[in-house]
Structure 1
């Protein structure tokens, strides 16, 4: 029997994750069955269950992956001296995340924002998913705190405000932008960048 390459395994896992995310964004977690996912990815049950035990594991994997990508992007920025200013950094990271998750719903709208909002809602009843999200949020917050500390050390930002306060505020800004996209439709990430740039230009 021919040995399956790691590249093939990775590609199949990617196919399943992308298809599942599109199903969840289109119909919600509870209205989506594993049969819907199998139909979307055009694979047998055995092929899918080889990678994921069920719906909850699929959801957790999607959340962990997205949070990991965001955390990595901010950690990379923190290693720059100094990091890019907040308006450029937030727009770059969010834009990259949205582009890498360019799922499209049946009505032609990008599904990433809908998926994120559904994940937040699902954590109320799903303790395992809540734990995954908590861990991811803590990592992103820690990465953002490092970025803020780098701003303060370089003189780009006032140093008398706790770095964690700034980190939480910037994360809230991104979360709010995602909610707007979910509720009111796609908005270019440049809108967020421009708004942050204007706020940053204000005097005391």
Structure 2
């Protein structure tokens, strides 16, 4: 019997994850059955269960993959000298995941899928751990970027790097929530807003 190549296995796994993501985004996590996933992916039960034992494993894989992709983009940016400013960097990563990979009206559905993943962590311990690991990983990456900003002389405020990291992550989370709830939220709006806030000049005397 011919041996199945790793490329074939990876393609099948991708097919399952993409099909499941479409189902979850369209119908919600709990309203989607494994039969729905099988139909959407166009695969047999045996083919799907070879990779995942159920919906929980699929959604955990989707979340892990998303974090890996986003973290990779930020890590690559941190190696640039000087690194892109937060407005440029966050906008570039969001465009990658919300515009280049997701077509038109499906962006809101994709954002709703992310919200579903967040809420699912309240009952799913494994998914909660996956999300926590991804969040903590992003904090580390952003803290490294803050250090790079300081070394490049473009960040003067003496604020702990982790505080800045948490705030920037919150900006992204807020944008995703707006996209999920209201739709039609352009990345350009977030980029312009961040750039506007970054342009503020605050008199130290007035702050005290």
TM-score (norm 2): 0.93
- 1:31 is matched with 31
Aligned residues: 201
Cα-Cα RMSD = 1.3
Q: Matches of residues 160-179 of structure 1 in structure 2 within 5 Å?
A: 160-179=158-177
Change (3 A) 1:100 1:124: farther
Q: Deviations over 1:36-67 (max 9, x none)?
A: 10011111000000111111000000000001
The within-5 A match list for 1:97-116 is 97-99=97-99, 101-102=101-102, 108-110=105-107, 111-116=109-114
Residue of structure 1 in register with 2:132 after alignment: 134
Match of 1:53 in 2: 53
Kept in 2: contact 1:88–1:193 (CA 8 A):
yes
Distance (Å, rounded) in 2 between the aligned partners of 1:59 and 1:164 = 28
Deviations for 1:121-165, whole angstroms, at most 9, x for unmatched residues?
A: 100111110000000111111001100111011110114111111
2:179 — aligned with what?
A: 181
Deviation at 1:81, TM superposition (A): 1.6
Work out the CA distance in 2 between the residues paired with 1:131 and 1:186. Answer: 31
What's the TM-score once normalised by structure 1's chain length? Answer: 0.94
Q: Deviations for 1:2-55, whole angstroms, at most 9, x for unmatched residues?
A: 222211111111110011011111111111110110011111000000111111
Structure 2 spans left out of the alignment, 5+ residues? 203-208
Cα contact 1:22–1:103 (8 A) shared by 2: no
List gaps (5 residues or longer) in structure 1. Answer: none
Q: Does 1:143 align with 2:173?
A: no
